[in-house]
Structure 1
Amino acid sequence: MDIKLKSSNDNKEFNDSRNNINGIKKSNYKEKVVIATLLVIAIIATAALGMCAAYPLIEENAKNVSYNNYFEEYAFSENLAGALYCSYYNSLNEKAGGTLDPASTLLNIPQNIYDNDEDYEESEFINGFNSNFNNWNRILDNQLANLKYYSYDKTNNITKTNINYEVGIIENNIDLSSIKKDEYQFYVAINFDENGNLTINDIKGANIQNFEYYLNSALSDFLSDNYYDSGYYNATMNPIKNMEFVYAVPNNLVFNDSISWGIRNAEAYGYELVGGVAVMIIATLVAIAALIFPIKRANEMPLFKWISKIPFEIWIVIVSLTVALFIVSSSYMIHPALNGQLEHFVGFNVDWFTASEKVIWVLNFINWFIGFAIVFFAVLIIKYIFNLGIKEYFKRRTIFGIILMFFVTIIKKTLDEVTKVDLREKNNKLIIKLLLINALILLIITSIWFFGIPVVILYSIVLFFVIRKYVDKISEKYSKLREATSKIAQGKLDVNIEEDLGLFEPFKEDLKEIQKGFKKAVDEEVKSQKMKTDLISNVSHDLKTPLTAIITYADLLKGENLSEEKRKQYVDTLDRKAQRLQVLIEDLFEMSKATSGNITLNIENIDVVALMKQTLLELEDKLEEAKLSVRKNMPEGKVILPLDSQRTFRVFENLVINMTKYAMPNSRVFIDIFENENDVQIVMKNMAAEEITFNVDTIAERFVRGDESRNTEGSGLGLAIAKSFVELQNGKFNISVDGDLFKVTIIFEK
């Protein structure tokens, strides 16, 4: 008892120890995952903070980088040309009391020499010009909200301005000395004489030659740039005459308009260049950190497990967007952030968003954190590709590979179906499937136009090798089938084909059936030969025994000094042996007829209950002699079946006689007749006198006896005859053994 308790305690301690170890391992694993995740976050956060901290240095170096002057670009001159024409038209229209339209004032259209349809189209063009010019005039104030102007119509002495201080006029010209030039980063004084010739009287913030060139180009191209049908009518813009203009852009831009955007875009080049260098340096450091970071630890991180499942094509898009994010962020986030503004966030324009300086810096940090996180994980993905294997990654983690493997699987499956096609059936579906796949491939190839020709050649070459591969596979399987059939033809019936023969798989199954048939035929032949030998041996023995006795007693009867009592005794023996010989010969004839099927049955409706009772009555003496007590379980009424009464009686007789020979003396034998809905069962059971050692499956064969030592009188044909007669009448004859209980079951269908 103490030993058992000690053993139980030891097992409990061992299990507790093992559980503790497993718990420690799990805990250590979780700790490693958490540490790895925190390390990745720290690397990316450090990079993002470093980028934000580099803003002042980037700004300082960006100012030293040369960039295009926005005021010397065609885009600014184009806007200014629109402003000049609008001011000129507004001045003339005001003088005319608002009765002028833009086309009659600004357009020069030659006299039309075409038909009335052309007149209608020209009218449409003029109406369109008026509508578009009026729209342009209305939105100009918003589009050029930062532009300060002063216009002076020398002919009509009309001035217009949005400058908030007084500008003087001296000798029919604008007093340029009254302009506060220090307040402006750009300033220009433009004069048009009575012939429409343009002169730049003064300029600040741009090269006069460059500016004048672009402004003249914008004025001459104004109509064609904005109205595409103008060339059809040979229309041109009337020159601006006797007008003087001053345009200026303040040092501090208040509004977000095309001017502020243009200036920022020009300045963005420096920030883009210097900021791009800073981004590349930090991104390179992040990439190096990712290369050093163990891929094993990355694979343990839940976030990376999810990221690694993103298809490669999507990663290409993400990386491309990240490059764009870095460019946009370098150009449009650094300078505004230093000025307490936020114009872009993760590549999107958010100039409508207002926030405190702290929030702006937090959003800048998040912007760079996202960008550098993508760089870090992109490098990890590259390591993951080599760790998993390029081929395997292509198949499992690329959209093209997944689609390609899907089609390859379908094609391979279809080709495998071709090699496994059942030639005994119609295969229209498979043929249609092959044609559809080929048609789809050809359709894709033909959609490539000229480049489809080399693709067709490549497709034909690939198709040749694929077909040759599958033809070789079919030939190989055919060779194995021929080899197997040759061996079977040589008498080697144990040939076994394990592999799949594909197209010839049905023949393999047929071949197995042939093997079984041959084996069965050979076994039957061997069995038949053995039975013939046994028949000769048993018949010789069983015939010889009574014949020897008859001959012996016949010789004894020839004795002259034989007493009457002895003579009578010998005659009785002779009679018994002769009857024994007669029974044996009759059994042989019956067995021969039953085996050959050369027997005529006289089928009639008989009462099997009455027939069994008759059999027991006739064999009552033998049952009493064997000291057997019969227990019957039969229906009280008649049980009618269509049987041959003589052969059925012989069946019952042989079975009862078999009981008298082999049943244990002083025991009970049981005879049951059960009438079911569809059949009638006759069951006969007895306890064997000797231990049952014979084979149940062969006991009903010819000349097989339960008493192999032949101590009991019999031919070994009783059960064989009974079984044959039952089966000739379409019945079932079954022998079963449970220990020493011998049981015969006969079933006749109704």
Structure 2
Amino acid sequence: MAIKLKNNKFIYFLCLIILISSLFAQTIIVPELIRGYGYRNTSFIDSDNFKSNLFDFYGTLMDSYSKYGAGEDSDRFKEISKTDIQNRLKVHEDEYNSIKVQLDQIKENEKNDSSNTVNNGVTNEVITGGVTTYSVPELGNFNTYAEGLALFNNLHKATEEDVKKEILSEKKSEYQSLEKVFDIYKNLQYVIYNGENDKILKTNLEKEFSNSEAIKNLQKDARFYVLFDGAKAGNILENVTGTINGNYFNNYDSRSFDAVKNEKIKLLIMLPQKLYYQDNIKQAEDRFLYGQNNFMKFAISEGVAVVLLLLSLIYVIKHRRNLIDNFVVRAYGKLWLEMKLVLNIFIAYVINFFTSILFNFHGTEQIIVLSIYFIICTYILLRKRVKLIGIKGVIKESSVLYKLFNQVKKVFLVKSIGIKVSIFVLLTLIFIFALFLIPILRSLTLSIIIILVYIIPYLALVGYYGMKFTVGFSKIVKGSEMICSGDLNYQIDEKQIGTLGTLAKNINSIKSGLEKSIKNETKSERMKTELITNVSHDLKTPLTSIINYVDLIKKGNLSSEDIQDYIKIIDRKSQRLKTLIEDLFEASRAASGEIDLNMERLDIVALLKQSLAEFEERIKEGSLDFRVNTPSEKIYVMVDGKRTWRAFENQIINILKYSLDNTRVYINVERHENEVVIIMKNISAYEIDFNNDEITERFKRGDKSRNTEGSGLGLAISKGLTELQRGEFNVEVDGDLFKTIMKFPIVG
């Protein structure tokens, strides 16, 4: 029994070794299969590599022949048009004039006795040891304008003959450059014929093979040849003869072969059976043959490896059913997300490779199938974790790029400037160390890794954040200057990097606070001035009347009836003065919060109806039509009944005093979720030409002429009393429509 158990363990570990070895073999075999896959069931002549080299050779050959004919001895090589000569003479003339302009600048400099360095891109003036040296590329160095002018006068002005030689030299250089390209295609043989008489115009064949009979023999023995006949009518590719036809060039722009037709030549290109030169063609064929010859070997090896892999995998899974789960949780689960995705691509690529061989997929089909396999692999291998913590959770948990981004973000978002500076200094020291380390390292690979992983990212980050810091700091400096100059409406952009954003926000807050403070101070001063004016007027008017009537009584000579009338007037004015003073004190106490409140749970609807009942006679006597809409149920609020009644009273008195005759007055009580709203609306008899805030100020009256008996304190008192009871009091004006809104929180 023990022996059997030991044998089972041995087989299990043997299968495990085979499984791992088969997986490792994939890394060697699969790339070779991929390389040889494109070469299967095809010849070297039909391979894309050969076609690419052939088309490159053809293009260079036609470019050379179109420009320079058969070579340096051809008339075409020596042909130079009058237009080319004139254009080149114009170029030289412009250069000549440019030198003259530079000399004129130098002359002007000497005249101004300038000691500054001048650099306009061409002329240089350098002060060295007290001596000014001028430099013009076409003239060289000289010390004075006179020396430069002498050099300029000796300058040879280009003639037509000079230009011809120059153009011819350029043609020769270009021709030689084109001819050098043929050195990498020595195995390709070509012959260019005259299309009319078949005379050989140009060839790279040896002289003994350059006659018609020898060329025919070479053609017969060639592994590949193609003849383009540009002398025949029709599309050039329809006139192609040889071991191939025009369809061979389907993936190449057929218009590129029109050069043969334009030149009216015949072009023969051949590839011999045996390649003698180690050129591009020979190297391409060696790669092709290696891939083709070894494809079957690697395919068989892959088949054996896959069979061993499947058998060992089946055995291991059978005896350890949780192997896959263990692999996913322990091994695959510990990989970074980016590595998982790369592994998924590799698995999908291997599966796609065998599917493509089986079903002969290629091109777009392979890409589509590969994408499907990748999605399937990713779903199978990540589904458990995604279901457990979601896609965002997987990214946060295992993505190295996400973690790296967070670390960089933490570095630059940390609030402590000292920590930021310390981190920057540390990163800079590492950067300097890396720069010194690269020359010491003898490994090119390590040097490249250091450059890619640290040096380039460091320079990129420093450059990016340095630029953002500089731009942001400039904006803040400009903004602070604008604010200091008195432009309090200027807003500094707060979207700045790190601490600069906080600084910009703070400056904007200071500016807003200063602007608000100035507005409040201005408003306060204006209110104080108006208050003093209004108080003086409203108190002085009844007081003056009292004094005047007392003086009249004191003078005597009055009947008893007159005295009684005067006493009544004095009494009325005294009561008026008393009311004003009491209202003033109450408004001040309400604004300062010095009133003692007796808060109790009251029905606000009943309190409002009670207030209206007090004025029932005046309402009936007047011409106003009161429309009161209140809920049928009780609405309880925590208020001081006496103070709230006073607030209602003030508003009703205002309505009775300042409403336009024969208009309607609306008083509505609305219950909202957590509050009750009391709205009173009337049409003003006087033009309302002040804003909503001003009407609640002390001594503000709808009657600006102040002819009515009001004190101007009613709304101010109502607002103060309402806000003392944790309510809200607002005024809205729309044309002549005047509306007061009171809000109180509802209690159960």
TM-score relative to the length of structure 1? 0.44
TM-score relative to the length of structure 2? 0.44
Q: Which structure has the larger Rg?
A: 1
